[in-house]
Amino acid sequence: MLSSSPGPIGVFDSGYGGLTILHAIRQQLPQYDYLYLGDNARAPYGPRSFDVVYEFTRQAVLRLFEMGCHLVILGCNTASAKALRTIQQHDLPGWDPERRVLGIIRPTAEVIGSLTETRHVGILATEGTIKSESYNLEIQKLHPDILVTGVACPFWVPLVEYNEADSPGADYFVKKRIDQIMALDPKIDAIILGCTHYPLLMPKIRKYLPAGVSVISQGDYVASSLKAYLERHPQIERKCAKDASVHYLTTENPEKFKESAQTFLREEIEVENITLG
């Protein structure tokens, strides 16, 4: 039986990248309690099949609901692309139709229309997100005149997770993908970073992007979208506890999570280990 008492806002990611989303949300909405869950033991999700990503995400969302969350943000582009819709349509009605699961692709798709003049947009993301074409579908739904070009960046996540984002070796991999996407469509004037790890590569991304091409990082747009969502849905907002607390959970070694999380958060945190599945 799921609790009806107010609880934290859940933020789920396959690993550490969702911490960039959590950080942006806390900047705009510091009053709420948050519960972050990283499925680090089974990361990365990017190369995994739709069915596997759906099952892993489903397990994580249910666990966050069992721990008191009424609202869960999938702070992971792959989970948002491959699992969100099925969970919303098939699982939520059976678990509790009053609870909500939101993704991080739509908020960026909503604002992109005001951020491009050429109406040519690029997406740099994991293989799973690019193959799902979720960004293309969302953007075309809202802005049918925008042409979307996507390129997968398979080595970018490991660069960030192994603390190599600032290394000279990272330049090769960043430049290669930017050159590739600009060659596919030289008219691109805005690029969405469709993976929550990629903001940590921002200095190198900006270094190799042609002048006049803007980079769109998701965090602030997701946070603004969540703020507006809570204002529009007071019945959900009332169920979000407000003690400004944050708790972190990982399916991996807590010490390893603490060490890597500092790359994303720049602060000391306490972490608890849990098992999913």
Identify which of 61, 51, 56 has the alpha carbon closest to the alpha carbon of residue 95: 61
- DSSP assignment of 60-95, as one string? HHHHHHHTT-SEEEE--HHHHHHTHHHIIIIIHHHH
76 classed as catalytic: yes
153 classed as catalytic: no
Task: Please identify which of the residues 69, 76, 153, 240 carries the catalytic annotation.
Answer: 76
Residues 215, 121 contacting (CB under 8 angstroms) = no
Task: Please identify which of the residues 69, 153, 195, 240 carries the catalytic annotation.
Answer: 195
CA distance 115 to 213: 10
Identify which of 199, 170, 31, 210 has the alpha carbon closest to the alpha carbon of residue 104: 199
Note the residue count of the chain: 277
CA distance 40 to 223: 23
Kindly list the catalytic residues: 76, 195
